[in-house]
Amino acid sequence: MDDIENVRSIPVDDVALEGELVVPDGATGLVVFAHGSGSSRHSPRNNFVAETLRERGLGTLLFDLLTEREDQKRENRFDIPLLTDRLVAVTRWLRERADTADLAIGYFGSSTGAAAALRGAARRRADTGAVVSRGGRADMATEVLDEVAAPTLFIVGGEDEQILERNEEAYERLDCEKELHVVGGAGHLFEGPGELEEVADRAGRWFTTHLA
């Protein structure tokens, strides 16, 4: 049975971020989600992926990178250094909790959240076991890509041409175990039949392999 804790507030940088932490019994790792601009911990796509990961024995943390007030300022949604600071601070918070301190940690980033995930992985090289980017803005982390040591998977829709091109360029800069998986026919939001299931399956295999 899942050990479910609704985290009402995560204390970070003098603010409280809302989120939900779910750690299945015997979890081998924990995946922290970094959502894209304009999204939140309620993202239906991220929640679908998180449910799949929990079915594979991984813990998940979905949280808001910004407070409700901060999110009202559009520029904050694209402040990648701020979002990275929040992700790293939440990772430290997990390391201080008795129930998550010893779990291998991975990052799942979507859109702009992927840039924060990659930057966070570069900053916490010894503490990041794997990274998965879904339709990610890897180009917003260009200057740190060669510092990412964690095994990294890029998942991009085949019809999401601009993002695919940016991911291909970023992929060449990575100096770690890596894979670029293209979901044929998919757009940026992976809304077609079976597309999000493919994302979740590939992410699940990546994380279970590298967070064991």
Q: What is the pLDDT of residue 205?
A: 98
Report the mean per-residue pLDDT for the chain. 92
Q: Which residues contact 162 (CB under 8 A, 6 or more apart)?
A: none
Given a cut of 70, whether residue 6 has pLDDT beyond it is no
Q: Are 154 and 107 in contact (CB under 8 A)?
A: no
Q: What is the pLDDT of residue 73?
A: 79
Instruction: Tell me the pLDDT tens digit for each residue of 104-126.
Output: 999 999 999 999 999 999 998 88
Q: Looking at the domain that runs over 2-210, which CATH code has it been given?
A: 3.40.50.1820
Instruction: Tell me the pLDDT tens digit for each residue of 24-50.
Output: 999 989 999 998 766 778 788 999 999
* Three-state secondary-structure class, residue 20: strand
Given a cut of 90, whether residue 52 has pLDDT beyond it is yes
- Token pair, residue 172, equals 């060449």
Instruction: Tell me the pLDDT tens digit for each residue of 127-171.
Output: 899 999 999 999 999 999 999 999 999 999 999 999 999 999 999
- Tell me the domain boundaries of the chain: 2-210
Rounded Cα gap, residues 80 and 83, in angstroms: 5
Strand partners, 23: 3
E strand or H helix that includes residue 95: helix 80-95
Q: Are 118 and 152 in contact (CB under 8 A)?
A: yes
